[in-house]
Amino acid sequence: MLKGIPQIISPELLKVLCEMGHSDRIVIADGNFPAESMGKNAIVIRCDGHGVPEILDAILQLFPLDTYVEKPVSLMEVMKGDNAKTPIWDTYKEIIAKHDPRGAETVGTIERFAFYEEAKKAYAIIATSEKAIYANVMLQKGVI
């Protein structure tokens, strides 16, 4: 055990967060996201039984968001014609505001299939059991 490390952060995830450099990206994926197929060139970490908000909050306690890009946090945009509601995005913005003074200004959206293409280039993908739809979030690492 270590002091100051959220219990939800596994040794594998802690190692990955440490290995990541400036501009590397990590995806925290909902339960519907094709983590294994998108992550063929990435490290896939299973966090079954956990939701995205709790993982996001724990990671942001350790992980600086990139200050050299306008939107270091990317969400998967709702598809046109899909009447999906995304209240979880408000939760994300509240969590981000706790850890980054820019708050919701750090958050942007990426069209669904473009998000998949960007996810294929991520350093790591965390597979969660999140049931909310359009709950995927991509973080770009900054510097301390």
pLDDT by residue, tens only, the chain of 144 residues: 789 999 999 999 999 999 999 999 999 999 999 999 999 999 999 999 999 999 999 999 999 999 999 999 999 999 999 989 999 999 999 999 999 999 999 999 999 999 999 999 999 999 999 999 999 999 999 999
pLDDT at 134: 97
pLDDT number for residue 108: 98
Catalytic residue among 22, 68, 82, 90: 22
Does 50 qualify as catalytic in the annotation? no
Q: Which of 24, 50, 99, 116 is catalytic?
A: 116
Tell whether 5 is covered by a domain: no
**Would residue 22 show up in a list of annotated catalytic residues for this protein?**
yes
What's the domain range around 36?
20-140
In this prediction, residue 132 carries a pLDDT of 97
Task: Find the CATH number of the domain harbouring 73.
Answer: 3.40.1650.10
User: Does any domain span residue 55?
Assistant: yes
pLDDT tens profile 45-69 = 999 999 999 999 999 999 999 999 9
DSSP 8-class letter at 46: E
57 is catalytic: no
Establish if 24 belongs to a structural domain. yes
In order of 1, 34, 137, the CA distances from 73 in angstroms are 29, 19, 7
- Indicate whether 31 belongs to any domain: yes
Q: How are strands ordered across the β-sheet holding 25-29?
A: 43-47, 124-128, 25-29, 137-140, 73-76, 107-110
Residue 78 burial (CB count, 10 A):
17
What's the pLDDT at 2? 84
Task: Catalytic residue, from 30, 57, 66, 100: name it.
Answer: 66
**For position 56, what pLDDT does the model report?**
98
Domain assignment of residue 133, yes or no: yes
pLDDT at 6: 96
With CA atoms as reference, report the closest residue to 51 among 112, 8, 1.
8
Tell me which amino acid residue 135 is: A
Q: Write down the pLDDT at residue 90.
A: 98
Domain count, the chain: 1
Q: Is residue 13 in some structural domain?
A: no
Q: Tokens 């995830």, residue?
A: 13
Domain assignment of residue 62, yes or no: yes
